Structures are given as C-alpha cells and as structure tokens.
Amino acid sequence: MKYLVTGTAGFIGFHVAKLLISQGHEVAGIDGMTPYYDVQLKRRRHQALLQSPNFTAHEFLLEDAARLSETYAAFAPEIIIHLAAQAGVRYSLENPRAYIEANIVGTFNILETARELPPLHLMLASTSSVYGANTKIPFVESDRTDHPLTLYAATKKATEGMAHSYSHLWKLPTTLFRFFSVYGPWGRPDMALFLFTKAIIEDRPIQIYNHGNMERDFTYVDDLAQAIALLSELAPTESDDPEETELQGLSPAAPYRVVNIGNAAPVPLLTFIKAIEASLGRKAKREYLPMQPGDVIATCADNELLYRLTNFRPSTPVNVGVDRFVRWYRDYYEV
C-alpha cells in the first residue's frame, strides 16, 4: 500500500513510518522540521528512514496548502496517517498561536486535500488530553470531552470535530486515535522520560509535579505503531444497525470512529522514576513541585474497542520500555 504519513521526523511518525516500511509498504513522509525541539534529532530520524528505497521525504509545513496538494497528487496515497502537530501541554501556555496554525490550519489542509482526492482511509492523531476534566477512570471513547484544560487539548478536540464533519459530508472513511503518554527510543526531549534520564545522568535534580501524586497510562511507542498499522486496514463504514454501530465504535452519522490506544494500566509517577533509576543504576535528586496548570492527576485508557477491532492490546511493561529508551539514549548521546 501507499501511505502518506505527516510528521515522519517526529517521535511517533518516525516509528509508524519505520514499521510500515518494514511491512513492505511505500511511505511518503512530510515534516516541517519546526524548531520546537532539537532539529538535528528530527533530521537523524529522517536519515534513518531514508536508508529504505520505500521512503521519500518532503520538508514543508502543512500550512502550505499548495505544496501539500501538489505532493499528495503526485504520490496518490491510498492511506493518510496525519501525525504532524504542535505537541506539548505546557508549551501551549507560552506559544498558543503555534497550536492554532499547526493543529487547526494544518489539519484543515489535510482534510481539504483528502476531500479533493479521497483516500481509502484517512487517519488522524488525537490525544488523551481531550478527556480534560473527566474524573471517571478509565477513559472510554464515548465519554464526553467538553472540558479541555489546555489549548493543546482544545485544538485536538477541534480536529476531531472537523474530521467528523468531513467524514459525514464527503463520506471519507476516517479514524481518530487518542494517544496515552507515549514513550520509547527516539523520544521527544521535552517529555518526562527524556528530561529525567538526562538530568539523572548529569547529576541534576528532576522536577516532580504534584509532589509525585500522579499516574499515567504509559504506552510504549512500538505498541502504538503496531496498533495504528492494524487499524489502517480497518476503514470505518456506515451502518444502519445501532448494535453494530456501538460494537464497532462507529459514528451514527458518518464512516468515522475514535479509538483509544493505551495500555489500560496506569503507572504511578514515582514507580516510573524508579524504573529509570534502576535502568541507569543511580538515584535521582528530586525536587517536588506543585501541580502545573493544565495537568491532570491520572490518565487511563479503556482499550476494549482497540482489542475488539484488532485483537491487539499494548502490553510492553514500563521497566522494559524504559530500559530500551535508556539504552538508546546512551548510544545516541554516547554517554
């Protein structure tokens, strides 16, 4: 199959593209190489993918509608996996405009492109952050998501709504997936695992928010990539059967579904830190701080729909995934 994947120099996009290439698919990757974090790390990811003749790289922002349309028409993909976004909860407090431009305008251009030349399946990334102020655990796809706590979450919620309207109006088979605290090798430098590992190696204190009283449904990146690849083969269809609609997680008004991708096994933050310490063989210096604006106490995915659809659940234990990241970090930075 021919896949167009956006954000292939990013953490998740890199792993998804790598898996698809290993399965024999042809992948065209788009990335804007924005300087939100180390651009050299992004370029190294693309260099690794370019070792395969089945991968082609395109460097531009999705806000460039003309360039996107031209690239899409030339490649004629059968499946789109839209992963490019301005990520980061805390950064949305500092630079909100970046989220509007990348997440709203960029996604709108993807939707318009798909409308003009419909693929077999349009797939877009959302986030567990859309569950916002919900306190019921685990989070189920059918839960209300009306109370986002950050602009990042709000833009992702908006893209879900935009995608549903296009799916309804133009009969585009569309899947949205909500990610839960993804981690692993080649991870983002602004994420907890990367920050903690770097600080402990450099003998600096790590900052632990809400005094460590937090839980996250940490999801190993290879599990996530596998789930996306499996879902890509299951384009939603419209159904008049209410029972089938509910069982398949389908919209009653469009060939559209939302799927959680998470371990369904929240890990206390302090347990996560202990796994990093064990892998590094040294203790962290700890600085306990209050809760940060936009944070939530706990996240947990209900992944029953993912399992019903694919017969697959993420299952990599945190100690295994953390150890793989630490080995990658030591190798990449030669420490």
Question: Taking all residues of the chain, what is their mean pLDDT, rounded to a whole number?
Answer: 96
What pLDDT was estimated at residue 145? Answer: 95
User: In the chain, where are the structural domains located?
Assistant: 2-333
Residues labelled catalytic:
152
Contacts of range 323-326, beta carbons closer than 8 Å, 24 or more positions apart: 323/275, 323/279, 324/184, 324/185, 325/183, 325/184, 325/185, 325/187, 325/193, 325/194, 325/197, 326/197, 326/276, 326/279, 326/280
294, pLDDT greater than 90: no
**11-30 pLDDT per residue, tens:** 999 999 999 999 999 999 99
User: Average of pLDDT values for 226-244?
Assistant: 95
Q: Cβ contacts of residue 297 below 8 Å, gap of 6+?
A: 210, 213, 214, 215
Q: Give the pLDDT score at 91.
A: 84
Q: What is the pTM of this model?
A: 0.97
Q: How far is CA 286 from CA 96, 209, 212, in A?
A: 30, 10, 10
Q: In this structure, what are the phi and psi dihedrals at residue 202, rounded to the nearest 5 degrees? A: -90, 5
CATH code matching the domain that covers 2-333, chosen among 3.30.420.10, 3.40.50.720, 3.40.630.40, 3.40.390.30 = 3.40.50.720
For 23-73, the pLDDT digits (tens) are 999 999 999 999 999 999 999 999 999 999 999 999 999 999 999 999 999
Burial string for 27-63 (b: 16+ CB within 10 Å, else e) reads: bbbbbbeeebbeeebbeebbeebeeeebbbbbeebbe
Q: What is the pLDDT of residues 74-91, one digit of tens each?
A: 999 999 999 999 988 778
